[in-house]
């Protein structure tokens, strides 16, 4: 075990796991999910999902990771040798491939927009102009792939440095920067003339727009945003020291992740209302709509640079955690040096990312069920693989894993902690699987 990496400090643990959780899911996906589902009402449902399902499922992954100190595949191999549960580890690595293939494309987009913002060529266009700019760029054959190569090279470079000198150092540097950017941008938004309207949109619920879909959306969003269901948290927690309190860490991450999503809403919606763009814009919200806002804003140059820097940092630290699942598996199970594993994984992701990216252009005609490759990967990961992975992991820890292991990882010592532990096991056995199962099945009928 000594040859394996580990995080050096509790602060490092928190920054790295928050780095994984806080990502495009918070700043890119959450605002448009909220916009499509009635604003504040969606937020309420989301908060319930995070605590009812998200936190218990996160803790389950932490228990597995720290108990075994192994990558996702190694962990299940150790805990359930020769049992079908072992498949869960491989499912995680497979899901990692699926998510990474399109996450690197979107991370690449953030690199491009950051470049446009810094070079000063982003501002000054019209609503239609930005729509066109995004569509032309995303459908291109060269530029998006160059950005993917940049993203993958940075990521592989950080991963080669290892857990402590790579992931931990970078997270400790970038995450505080991200929080500062969030606060500065939020204050700026709150000073706008549409602030009251925007804040109302975020905080005053409109229940008329809530449907069953909103529950499905909120549960899926919670899984994606908290990085649950593919062993990313197993892999990271395998580097945790024994002094890390798993319950507290899971709760902290959930709270911080949620706050970041809310702050992203506070940044985006006042601006959206001030500059008269409609909030219901789908995934293009921060790429197609936001440049218009910066163009009309005073000192738009600075704000646009800060905003796309924020988006890039958020995406990069999450991409890092997904990639680490695959790199740790390759390095440990095939006994490869980390740099060999990271380089191989890098080349694979460039190829897969290129395919996903080209599906906006030359490969547009390759569709399954009407979805282009990019959308198909997102659908497969968010709506199928992550819920299945998260549900089975909860069932595994709730029913199959020796409860003594779970109790010792969660440091259950006093009688009151024991009561809490009993409730927790009920959550893992029934509440999480039922909630995820219902949501999972109903999506096929809606």
List of residues contacting ligand TRP (CB under 6 A): 20-21, 23-26, 99, 224-225, 227, 229-230, 232, 318, 321-322, 386
Closest approach of Cβ 370 to ligand TRP, in Å? 24
Closest CA to 290 of 56, 109, 102, 83: 109
Residue 391 and residue 433 in contact, taking contact as beta carbons nearer than 8 Å: yes
C-beta of 333: minimal distance to ligand TRP in Å? Answer: 19
Complex with ligand TRP: residue 79 or 222, whichever CB lies closer: 222
CB of 28 to ligand TRP, least distance (A): 8
Cβ 343 to ligand TRP, closest distance in Å?
21
Residue 230 or residue 297: which is nearer to ligand TRP going by CB? 230
Q: In terms of Cα–Cα distance, which of 156, 165, 231 is closest to 5?
A: 165
Q: 26 or 295, CB closer to ligand TRP?
A: 26
Pick the closer one to ligand TRP by CB: 289 or 314: 314
Tell me whether residue 189 or residue 225 sits nearer to ligand TRP (CB atom): 225
- Is the CB of 195 or the CB of 287 nearer to ligand TRP? 287
Q: How far is the CB of 156 from ligand TRP (least distance, A)?
A: 16
Cα dist from 267 to 24, 194, 204, 264, whole Å: 15, 11, 16, 5
Residue 129 Cβ, how far from ligand TRP at the closest point, in Å?
28
């Amino acid at each position: 075990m000594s040859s394996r990496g580990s995080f050096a400090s509790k602060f490092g643990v928190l920054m790295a796991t928050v780095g994984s959780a806080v990502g495009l899911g918070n700043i890119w996906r959450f605002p448009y999910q909220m916009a499509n589902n009635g604003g504040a009402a969606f937020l309420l449902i989301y908060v319930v999902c995070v605590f009812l399902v998200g936190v218990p499922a996160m803790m389950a992954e932490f228990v597995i990771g720290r108990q075994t100190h192994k990558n996702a595949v190694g962990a299940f191999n150790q805990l359930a040798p020769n049992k079908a549960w072992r498949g869960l580890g491989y499912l995680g690595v497979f899901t990692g491939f699926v998510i990474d293939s399109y996450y690197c494309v979107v991370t690449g987009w953030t690199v491009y927009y950051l470049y446009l913002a810094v070079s000063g060529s982003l501002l000054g266009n019209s609503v239609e102009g930005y729509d066109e700019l995004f569509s032309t760029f995303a459908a291109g054959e060269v530029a998006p792939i160059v950005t993917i190569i940049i993203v993958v090279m940075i990521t592989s470079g950080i991963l080669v440095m290892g857990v402590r000198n790579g992931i931990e150092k970078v997270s400790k540097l970038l995450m505080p920067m991200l929080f500062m950017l969030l606060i500065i941008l939020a204050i700026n938004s709150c000073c706008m003339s549409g602030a009251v309207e925007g804040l109302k949109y975020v905080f005053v619920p409109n229940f008329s727009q809530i449907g069953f879909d909103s529950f499905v959306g909120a549960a899926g969003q919670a899984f994606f945003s908290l990085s649950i269901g593919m062993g990313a948290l197993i892999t990271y927690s395998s580097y945790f020291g024994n002094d890390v309190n798993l319950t507290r860490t899971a709760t902290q991450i959930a709270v911080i992740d949620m706050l970041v999503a809310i702050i992203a809403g506070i940044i985006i919606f006042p601006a959206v209302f001030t500059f008269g763009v409609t909030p219901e814009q789908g995934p293009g919200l921060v790429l197609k709509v936001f440049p218009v806002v910066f163009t009309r804003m005073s000192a738009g140059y600075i704000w646009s640079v800060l905003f796309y820097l924020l988006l890039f940092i958020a995406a990069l630290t999450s991409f890092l955690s997904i990639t680490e699942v695959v790199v740790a598996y390759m390095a440990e199970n095939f006994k490869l040096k980390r740099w060999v594993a990271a380089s191989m994984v890098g080349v694979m992701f460039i190829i897969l990312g290129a395919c996903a990216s080209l599906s906006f252009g030359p490969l547009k005609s390759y569709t399954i069920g009407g979805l282009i490759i990019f959308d198909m990967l997102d659908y497969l990961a968010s709506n199928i693989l992550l819920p299945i992975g998260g549900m089975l992991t909860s069932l595994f820890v709730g029913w199959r894993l020796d409860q003594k292991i779970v109790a010792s990882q969660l440091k259950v010592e006093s009688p009151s902690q024991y009561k809490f532990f009993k409730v927790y096991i009920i959550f893992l056995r029934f509440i999480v699987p039922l909630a995820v199962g219902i949501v999972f099945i109903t999506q096929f009928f809606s």
